Chain A
Amino acid sequence: MSRILSKSLLLLLFTVVAACGIYPAVVWAIAHLFFPFQAEGSLLKGPDGQVVGSRLIAQPFTKDEYFQPRPSAAGYDASASASSTLAASNYALRDRVARMLGPIVKYRSGPKVGQLVAPDVESWFQQDRYQGQPGIVAQWAALHPNLATVWVNADPVHAAYVDTWAKNHAAVVSDWIKSNPATPQPKAADLAVAFFQSFSKENPGRFPSAVTRTAPGGKPETSIEPVKDGSDIQSIFFDMWRQDHFNADLQEVPGDMLTTSGAGLDPNITLQNAEFQLDRVASKWAADTKGNEAKIRKEIDQLLQANARAPFGGLAGEKLVNVLEVNLALRNRYSAPN
């Protein structure tokens, strides 16, 4: 037995020396001798010589002048990779996609071909009828209580708004407590559905949204107010609008633009996705540089085509574009966006 134990320790020692010492040291030496760029993480330098990121790791871009990477469940945090883990059956997945679609989808045919659907979503919302019943917001909260709760928890300002409402609507709150005796002191999140139903009754065709106004002192102030249009309406209620407009013929948006990747750090988008964004990018750069839009569009398109690569030379996938490399090329060519 002691023989077995001593041999066990010896085997462990040999393996630790070989596998944790010699092996990584040899690989490290080869890597730094022949592939120093890759060995340190493929870091790219910006126009001022500073490192701006890794060509293999996605980073966020918010400005319209830049191509945008795929959405990230990790918030582009390269120290904590994550996927959405949303099942196909989970409504949260459909909701996330629908919210991204609302502001960008266009009609594919019919009298409004090529126009955004967003204005129609807003005017339908203001009519305040879904599936023939009044009260879109009330129905939304009843159908999707989780989303209503998420809205309340998303921002302390939202919760405060619900608290104020609760103070002014003691009767509704006490009704709620009567039907939920297990929660005698409900928090804002518990009351989410009741809040939206009461809100919908009092503000038909409105949704509580953040509005920024310039206060008398010149400082911008943000508060929650009932609004009838804007990005919240366009995104949150796009899916319900879609259910009410079953036969509307809409342009399809590239799938990779709407789905999160496995690690949340996918550095690529499909060429199709990049070309979908090309109009926006080109017109923004044209405005920034006061150049000819058609010429800039052509330049950028050439840049995309030159940078597009398919895995295995096209045998196993579609043409892809590296977002950081392309955006870096744009930055170098047109200087900083306004």
Chain B
Amino acid sequence: MWILPISMLVLTTLLAIPLSRYMSRIMDGTYRVPRFLRWLEDRLDCGPQSWKQYTLSLLVFNTVLFVFGFVVLAVQPWMPLNPQHKGMLAPSTIFHTVISFMTNTDVQHYAGDVHFSNFSQIFFGFTMFFLSASIGFCALTMMIRALRGGPTVGNFFVDMWRVVAYMFLPACLLLAVLFVQQGSPMTFKSFHEVHTLEPAAMGTLDNGQPKPQTIVVGPLAAFVPMKQLGTNGGGFYGMNSAHPFENPTGFTNFLSCVAMMLFPFGLVLMFGRMLNRLSHAWLIFGVMMFFMIGTVVWAIYFDTLKPNPGLTAHPVARTYQIPDPSAPGGKRMVTLPAVAGLPVDQHLGNLEGKELRFGTSAGATFAALTVDVTDGAVNCEHDSLNPLAGLSPYAGMWLNCFFGGKGVGMINMLLFVVVGIFIAGQMVGRTPEYLGKKIGGREMKLAMIALLVHPIMILMPTGIFAGTNWGLKAESNPGAHGFSQILYQFSSSSANNGSAFDGLGVTYGFNNNPNPAPTAVDWDIASALVILVSRFLPIVAPMAMAAFLGAKKSSPFGLGTLRDDTPTFALLLVGTIAIIGALLFLPVAALGPLAEHWGPLPFGG
């Protein structure tokens, strides 16, 4: 039960220590490579850049990536590796998919096994996986260099290539061999048709012949490692890492979890190494770990250790007084009758939407970890999690800094650090300082913009969609859970996460699909816009903030300076995150998962 998550966290932490040393060496450029690789780097190098040039390069490169991705997906019908002659996705879905993948979000409004050819999986998927993960990485690196001070912050293109070539590619190669050994296919064929052991068990075709089972295969073993290492999370198959080919055994599930946490863990320590503030980085690491363990324990406690409440008994009838203007006295009594349980052995917890081969607590653990590091792969159906357990992925997405994605999570945490220091400074009446630099009004404004974009981009569209047919026509579950589905989609979009409550009707499918989900286009566009704003504002604003901070004079360390590596500071940080998070998101939590848990169960007919 607990061995699985504990061993994952411990092993990843141990691996992250040497990895962070390697990472800071690579990003500092103090390494030696063969002449051929050096030649490639020289081709990309256009000299040291100022923070503005670096940011501009990042934005221009994303634009190039968008065009490339859009073209690759649009030409799918005419490209090779497409024996099933899959057509073109709806343009709105292509738009959404490209935005989603190039920002490391990977919310999917399509199903890879149904809608993508192997050509698209490789040329769209692999390219986006490697590059989108590197972008956040480089943004953090640039911020670190800016905080060190100095007029230039390195070269964006060289940084990108270093991450792709010296970190992701070797790690992927190693993992890919392990995945194929465990059973992930690695082939450029698209599918096998097999005749089932019991003839006609799949039914019969129109001509009376037994229907074969069509098994979609592809270059999975190469696909999955980068999906996880880059905290991308976009599935090759519709059901992502729950699919037996994408995650064939308990061991690959373990590897998947370690792989998705590895670089986010390492980046925190890299931050400390490059700034020469390792103790401060360990403190941030500890705070992040505290929250991460919290979400894992919460999910396991409410999902693995509790049965699915839809099947159990609720032996006592409950009566509530509710306000009702039409009733005499303005009040009305509502009774929820007692419910007898179904005879189901649920000692393994809630098994709806879970796979068995990963281990008992693996579904809940994965659900918590995948949102904490904004991976977004899923190995169980989040829609079917127990209502309270569902709060764990929500918390990870809302606060978005329990390690968080490649670099971006650390950037979010820096914002909380700056805000925490500012609040503490206000309380004792001193000018707040971080890393010896005074935090001024301009920096605070930038930090607040970056911090507030996220809740606005979740709550505003959730409100709009929950109140209109855009959302109501897409819900697939009744009552509070329907609202949860809408909330989850925008939380996942804004957090650049990518997991989903899959029941939501957001799939248009191929462009010629006669029966798309009724509001799929609205979802494509709204979700894509949320992703865009929530990706780039919280990267660019902190980059500017770091540049402004870095340009300031360092003030000497004095008696009144708030030390950033003490338990007091850790407590301050935990408090800041918890209070800001609760203030922003408790009301929607009450409307969604909490209402579902304490409301009538089962609900609706």
A90-B169 in contact (CB<8A): no
Please state if B384 and A87 are interface contacts (CB–CB under 8 Å): yes
Q: How many residues on the A side are at the interface (Cβ–Cβ under 8 A)?
A: 113
Find out whether the CB atom of B477 lies under 8 angstroms from the CB atom of A243.
no
Q: Which residues of B contact A147 (CB under 8 A)?
A: 605
Please name all residues of chain B whose beta carbon is closer than 8 Å to the beta carbon of A253 when the two chains form the complex: 343-345
Contact of A56 among B68, B114, B245, B601 (CB under 8 A): B245
The A1-23 residues at the B interface (CB cut-off 8 A) are: 1, 3-5, 7-12, 14-16, 18-20, 23
Contacts of B187 in A (CB 8 A): 28, 31, 39-41
Contact status B127-A98, CB under 8 Å: no
Chain B positions 232-249 with a Cβ under 8 Å from a chain A Cβ: 237-239, 242-245, 248-249
Q: Are B239 and A145 in contact (CB under 8 A)?
A: no
In the complex, A103 Cα to B237 Cα: how many Å?
35
> Once the chains bind, are B605 and A51 in contact (CB under 8 Å)?
no
A12 & B64 in contact (Cβ 8 Å cutoff): yes
Q: Does A267 lie at the interface of the complex (its beta carbon under 8 Å from any beta carbon of B)?
A: yes
Residue B422 at the chain A interface, CB threshold 8 Å: no
Of the candidates B60, B248, B309, B381, the one having the most CB atoms from chain A within 10 angstroms of its own CB is B381
Alpha-carbon distance between A63 and B201 when the two chains are bound, in angstroms? 9
Closest Cβ of chain B to A124, distance in Å, is 14
Interface 1/0 per residue, B225-263 and A, CB below 8 Å? 010000000000111001111001111001000000000
Say which residue of B242, B249, B383 sits within 8 Å of A263 (CB atoms).
B242
Task: Give the residues in chain A near B557, CB-CB below 8 Å.
Answer: none
Contacts of A94 in B (CB 8 A): 310-311, 342, 602
In the assembled complex, how far is the CB of residue A304 from the closest CB belonging to chain B, in whole angstroms? 15
Q: Collect the chain B residues with CB atoms within 8 Å of residue A56's CB.
A: 183, 244-245, 248
A291 contacts the other chain (Cβ, under 8 Å)? Answer: no
Beta-carbon contacts under 8 Å, B168-194 to A: 169, 172-173, 176-177, 180-189, 191-192, 194
Q: Would you call B111 and A81 a contact (CB within 8 A)?
A: yes
**Which one of B350-358, B391-399, B426-434, B580-588 is at the interface?**
B350-358
Q: Could you say which residues of chain A place their CB within 8 Å of the CB of B602?
A: 88-91, 93-94
When distances are taken between beta carbons in the complex, the residues of chain B under 8 Å from A46 are: 197
Contact A52–B476 (Cβ < 8 Å): no
Among B222, B354, B387, which residue has its beta carbon within 8 angstroms of that of A24?
B222
Q: In the complex where A88-B350, A318-B348 touch, is A35 in contact with B180 (Cβ < 8 A)?
A: yes
Find residues 302-338 in chain A having any chain B CB closer than 8 Å to their own CB: 311-312, 315-318, 320, 324, 327-328, 331, 337
The interface stretch among B26-34, B38-46, B323-331, B527-535 is B38-46
Q: Are the CB atoms of A90 and B478 closer together than 8 Å?
A: yes
Q: Does A164 contact B (CB under 8 A)?
A: no
Provide the bound-state CA to CA distance between A26 and B170, in Å: 12
Q: Which of B129, B353, B362, B596 has the most CB of A within 10 A?
A: B353
Q: Does the CB pair B197–A331 fall under 8 Å? A: yes
Quick one: which of A72-117 are within 8 Å of B by CB?
A: 76-91, 93-94, 97-98, 101, 105
Cross-chain contact A11 with B157 (CB below 8 angstroms): yes
Interface status of A270 (Cβ within 8 A of chain B) = yes
Residues of A within 8 A of B413 (CB): none
**A7 neighbours in B (Cβ, 8 Å):** 44, 46, 57, 157
The answer to whether A90 and B177 touch across the interface, beta carbons within 8 angstroms, is: no
Asked whether A137 is an interface residue with its Cβ less than 8 Å from the other chain, the reply is: no
Whole-angstrom distance between the alpha carbons of A18 and B217 in the complex? 22
* A262 touching B250, Cβ below 8 Å: no
Contacts of A226 in B (CB 8 A): none
Selected from B64, B219, B238, the residue in CB contact (under 8 A) with A5 is B64
Cα distance A223–B170 when bound, in Å? 65
B-binding segment of A154-162, A208-216, A244-252: A244-252
If A79-B191, A262-B242, A316-B362 touch, whether A19 touches B352 (CB-CB below 8 Å) is no
Contacts of B46 in A (CB 8 A): 3-4, 7
A46 CB to closest chain B CB (Å) equals 6
**Interface 9-mer from B158-166, B272-280, B290-298, B401-409:** B158-166
Residues on A with beta carbons closer than 8 Å to the beta carbon of B43? 10, 14
A50 at the interface (CB under 8 A from B): yes
Nearest CB of chain B from residue A307's CB, rounded to whole Å: 14
| Chain A binder among B208-216, B444-452, B456-464 | B208-216
Q: Does B202 contact A (CB under 8 A)?
A: yes
Contact B213 A87 (CB under 8 A): no
- Would you give the shortest CB distance from B182 to chain A, in whole angstroms? 7
Name the residue in A57, A81, A145, A328 with the highest tally of chain B Cβ atoms < 10 Å from its Cβ: A81
Q: Produce 1/0 per residue, A213-250, CB < 8 A to B.
A: 00000000000000000000000000100110110001
Instruction: Mark B122-145 against chain A: 1 for CB-CB distance below 8 A, else 0.
Output: 110011011100000000000000
Residue B501 at the A interface, CB < 8 A?
A: yes
Most A C-beta atoms less than 10 A away, residue of B185, B249, B502: B185
Q: A94-B602, A255-B345 are in contact. Are A15 and B131 (CB under 8 A)?
A: yes
Distance (Å) between the CB of A59 and the closest chain B CB?
5
B383 and A86 contact, CB distance less than 8 A: yes
Contact of B605 among A82, A101, A144, A261 (CB under 8 A): A144
B527, chain A: closest CB distance, angstroms: 18
List residues of chain B with CB within 8 A of the CB of A9. Answer: 64
A residues within 8 A CB of B164?
A: 14-15, 18-19
Report the separation of the CA atoms of residues A98 and B242 in the bound assembly, to the nearest whole angstrom: 25
Q: Which of B131, B183, B191, B194 contacts A52 (CB 8 A)?
A: B194
Separation of A258 and B243 alpha carbons in the complex (Å) = 19
Is residue B79 contacting chain A, with contact meaning CB distance below 8 A?
A: no
CA distance A55 to B130 in the complex (A): 31
In the assembled complex, which residues on chain A have CB atoms less than 8 Å from the CB atom of B198?
A: 60-63, 66, 327, 337
Q: Which residues of A contact B122 (CB under 8 A)?
A: 20, 24
Report the separation of the CA atoms of residues A90 and B599 in the bound assembly, to the nearest whole angstrom.
12
Is B183 touching A10 in the complex (CB atoms < 8 A)?
A: no
- Do the beta carbons of A8 and B60 come within 8 Å of each other? yes
Q: Is A43 an interface residue when CB atoms closer than 8 A count as contact? A: yes
Known contacts A51-B194, A78-B214: A242-B340 contact under CB 8 Å:
yes
Q: Which residues of B contact A38 (CB under 8 A)?
A: 180-186
The minimal Cβ–Cβ distance linking B602 to chain A, given in whole angstroms, is 4
- Residue A143 CB within 8 A of the other chain: yes
Q: Name the CB-closest residue of B to A193.
A: B605
Give the chain A neighbours of B176 by CB distance below 8 A. Answer: 27, 30
A254 to B343, CA, bound (A): 9
Instruction: Flag whether A54 is at the interface (Cβ < 8 A).
Output: yes
Pairs of residues from A and B, 3 with the lowest C-beta to C-beta distance, nearest first: A262-B242, A316-B359, A85-B503
Contacts from A to B (Cβ < 8 Å): 1, 3-5, 7-12, 14-16, 18-20, 23-24, 26-28, 30-32, 34-35, 38-43, 46, 50-54, 56-63, 66, 70, 76-91, 93-94, 97-98, 101, 105, 143-147, 239, 242-243, 245-246, 250-256, 258-270, 272, 311-312, 315-318, 320, 324, 327-328, 331, 337
Q: Hey, which bits of chain B sit against chain A, CB under 8 A?
A: 1, 3-4, 40, 43-44, 46, 53, 56-57, 60-61, 64-65, 68, 111, 113-114, 122-123, 126-127, 129-131, 157, 160-161, 164-165, 169, 172-173, 176-177, 180-189, 191-192, 194-198, 201-202, 213-217, 219, 221-222, 226, 237-239, 242-245, 248-251, 254, 308-311, 315, 338-340, 342-348, 350-363, 378-381, 383-387, 476-481, 484, 501-503, 596, 599-605
- 25 A–B pairs (Cβ distance < 8 Å), ordered by A: A27-B180, A27-B186, A38-B186, A51-B195, A59-B202, A60-B196, A61-B197, A77-B213, A79-B113, A79-B216, A81-B238, A83-B239, A85-B381, A85-B502, A89-B309, A89-B600, A90-B478, A90-B604, A93-B352, A144-B605, A146-B604, A255-B345, A255-B347, A311-B249, A312-B251
Known: A56-B244, A83-B384. 17 other contacts (CB 8 A): A16-B123, A30-B180, A34-B181, A42-B185, A52-B195, A59-B197, A60-B198, A77-B213, A81-B243, A90-B310, A90-B604, A93-B352, A101-B344, A312-B251, A316-B361, A317-B360, A327-B197
